[in-house]
Every structure is written in C-alpha cells, then in structure tokens.
Structure 1
Amino acid sequence: MRVLLFATLLTPVLASAEGVRPGVIAAQDLKEYATLSGPRKRIVEEALELAAKDTWLKYTFGSADPESGGLDCSGSVYYIFQQAGIEPPRTSAGQFTWVKDAGTLTEVPAVTPSLEMPEFENLKPGDLLFWSGTYEPKDGREVAVSHVQIYLGHEKSTGKPVMAGASDGRTYRDTKRAGYGIFDFKLPRAGSKGVFLGYGLPPLGK
C-alpha cells in the first residue's frame, strides 16, 4: 500500500519534469526598451504580449498560428511580425535571405563567437538571430539556416541578454524549457552542432 501511494504521489512530479514553460517578462523589465521606437518597439511589444498569454504555446513544427496551440521558430517570427504590420518570409532560411538581401545582415565568424566580439556592437532589440545546424532541414532550402529568434535586449534584473521565440530545448535563467516565450540568448559552445550565423533587421521605415 505504501509503495502504491508513493508511486501515485511521484507520478505528477515526473510528468511536470517533461517540460517547463518559457519565461514571461514585462517590457519595462528590459534595459533598452525605453529607447526603442518605430518597428523595433512594435516587434518587441508583440513578442512579449504573445509570451504573456495565459495559454502555454507548445513548440509545434510547421505552425505559424497560436490558435493551433503552438508555433515553430520561424512561425513565431512570421506571426509576430505580421502583428506588428510587417510581412516577412515564412521560413527561417527565407527570413535570413530577406535580411541579407536588404544589406542589413551582420554575419559572425564561424569560430567560437563571444558576445564581446566587435561584430555584436550593433545588435539591437527587434533584430532576428540566426543559427544553422540545430536540425537537418528537408525542404530543399538553399541556405542552411535552421533556427531563428527575436533579440529583446538585456533584462534589468540579471543584466543578461534575452530573446523571444519558439524552441524545444533552450533555456531561460539556465533552466531548460520548451514552447514559445522568453529564452536566454546564448551562443553555441565549442563543438556544438549549432552554429550562430548572424543577426539583423531589414529597413522597415519609422
């Protein structure tokens, strides 16, 4: 009887360990928010508003619609930008090409990067962040981009850089999480399959 009771009590704990919701923060908790205007401000606000919804949006490959209960990485960018009045390409590869063709992509050397590198001096909230190697795309895309997130700036409370998007395994405050929300912006470790490619945002007007 004691064994059965122990197993019954343990089951919910094990179930909850299968996933932790990404972070939720307020705009006023971001260091750079007060300086933002125009499209960058709208992008950040839409990203935070979506993260704050009561419904936990799970990571759902192929989805760009929150009403489906989940989003994938490029789907979340696609939805947020549309809400901000901007029409982006649908895939992470398309979004990368969109920025690159506009001449606003800052590429980062493939060597193990650091946020202290001069290449990151122009990184601003609202910029799209691009990776390759996070998974193997099978849609015949011409560029090997596989992941995208939206840079939000630094948290006032921790001083650490954060980003918004959908993921099935990144961290927020060093805890692994899954779904759509706020994540730590960390660069890949040496030897990681994932490679950080660069960042940028096309000219979007005032």
Structure 2
Amino acid sequence: MATSNSHRAAGRAVTPFRHSGRALRGTGGAAILGTVLLGSAFAGGAAQAAPTAPATAPTLTAQAAAPATPAPIHTLSSAEKLRWGSQGSSVKQLQAALNEEGASLAVDGKFGPRTHSAVKDYQRTNGLQVDGVVGPETRGALNGGGLSIGGTGTSVPTPSTSSSGSVGQSIVDAARTQIGTSYSWSSSSPGVGFDCSGLTQYAYKQAGIDLPRTSGQQVNAGTSISKSAAQPGDLVVWPGHIGVYAGGDKVVDAGRSAGAVTERTIWGSPTFITFR
C-alpha cells in the first residue's frame, strides 16, 4: 500500500487567503479585504493614512479705504479781492463759506464789520496774513487748497514761512516816502496832503493791504497787541491819532504841524494794532 506524502511538493500552489466574512482593520482603522486596503495604502507592509488635503488659506478681505476729506460745500468762484465795503453774490459765497468754518454771519452779501472780523479770525486760525482781505491765499484756503491761481480752482501749497517781516518793512518804507508832505484833513494824496489815517491807509495799500478809511475803523479792524510784541509796520494809536510803527521806538505819522509827515520818537502811552 502506497504511503501518503503529507509534505507539499515543490511548486505547489498556496491556498489563497479566505475571507472570513469580517473585514480586517489595518493601521489607522482602514478596512482591508484580502490584500486590498480600502481607503489607505501599504508601504513596507504597514498601512499609512492618505495625505490630508491642505487647509484652504483664509481669504484676505480688502482693507476699507480711508474716507476722503469732504470738499467744501460753498466755494468762492470769483477771483476778485473781497474787503470791507464789498457787496454782491461773491460776498454771499464768502459768508456761507465762513459759516462752514464756525462763523455765524447773515448771508446778506454785505462785507461789513462782522464779516471783516470773521475773515480775520479765519486767517489767524489758519496761519494766514491777518488783514481782513480775502485775496488769493485766503480764498484758496477757504476753497480747500493752498494759494488759488486766478480763481480757477487750481492751487499750490501755501508757503510755510511767513513774509510778515518784509510786508511790515514795505509799509514803513511807503510811509517814509511821504515824509515832508503837508497835513490835510480827510486827505490821502501822495506828495500833496495827508491826515493821519490817510497816511496809514496809503502806506498799507502800497503793501497790498486795504484798510478802512478812518482811524477808528482801522483800530476796530486790527488786533490790539503789547508794545513788546509790536513789529515795524504795525499801527501806533493815540486818542484821535494814528501812525505807522517804524521800530526802535519811532513812528511815521501825519501830525498837525509844519512838515506834517515826519518820523519821530513815540511819546506818551499809545496802544499798538497789528494786521499780521
């Protein structure tokens, strides 16, 4: 009787792995069936988790733009100089623009003492020449820019350095040109005759500054300062009399005497007025 050989012959096929009805769990808990790994892969016999998809980068929101500086509601369209005594629609525009800046003016188109005072307050607050006259610099500032050119709305930056020193000296120089001119009440005639306020008005006009006509109006239009703060070109005021401060305790004035317009030493205890 032939003896049975219980050993496997060389090359005999290996019985395939049989599924027992339950899925095996690979590394990480992934289900496998036979040699197939579902949801994972084998590397060197060990299951590795499938690479996780990269997180979506957070969406960057655009930063809100800073609000633009609001344009002035009322602008001055005319290139004409506005001063005490001016009237019309241009003055109404000016009054409305000043009201935007905190003034409380009646928009009546009449450039009187209240409008004049409001202009000076605006000029003083904004570092402009304080003369109460709305010229290119003041108009440009009220229109939201710098020095306005020809009223077209084009502007250039207002110079940061003050020219008040040279303006003051030009006022003194203009007054000195009239030394020797006769006194004449209520006159303002170069080389012919001046009264005291006529001379100061004339000297200021040569520097491009328009003053009211009488000494009382000039005092009210300006700003009172101490003698220690006075500079050449400011006004020196006595009761009923006014002159141009020349510096060094001197005044150029039109007095009621022969020779009328002279430069002399200040006397008494006058007050000082400035338009700077």
TM-score by length of 1: 0.51
- Determine if the alignment matches structure 1 residue 46 to structure 2 residue 127: no
- Which residue pairs with 2:213 in the alignment? 90
- Cα RMSD between the aligned structures? 2.1
CA distance in 2, matches of 1:180, 1:76: 8
Give the number of the structure with larger relative contact order, counting CA–CA contacts within 8 Å between residues 6 or more apart. 1
Q: Is residue 105 of structure 1 aligned with residue 224 of structure 2?
A: yes
Equivalences for residues 1-206 of structure 1 within 5 A:
37-51=165-179, 56-67=180-191, 69-99=192-222, 104-106=223-225, 119-132=226-239, 146-154=240-248, 161-169=249-257, 178-187=259-268, 196=270, 198-203=271-276
> In percent, how many aligned pairs have the same letter?
27
Moved over 3 A (4+): none
Alignment coverage as a number of residue pairs: 114
Larger Rg over CA atoms? 2
**Distance (whole Å) between structure 2 residues aligned to residue 178 and residue 168 of structure 1:** 9
Partner of 2:13: none
Looking at structure 1, the residues matched to 217 and 252 of structure 2 have their Cα atoms a distance apart, in angstroms, of: 19
Q: Could you say what secondary structure the match of 1:50 adopts?
A: coil
Does structure 1 retain, via aligned residues, the 8 Å contact 2:235–2:274?
A: yes
Output the CA distance in 2 between the equivalents of 1:41 and 1:131.
22
The structure with more helix, counted as a fraction of residues: 1
* Gaps in structure 2 of 5+ consecutive residues: 1-163
CA deviation string 1:31-65 (max 9, x = no partner): xxxxx8332121112122222xxxx3111111011
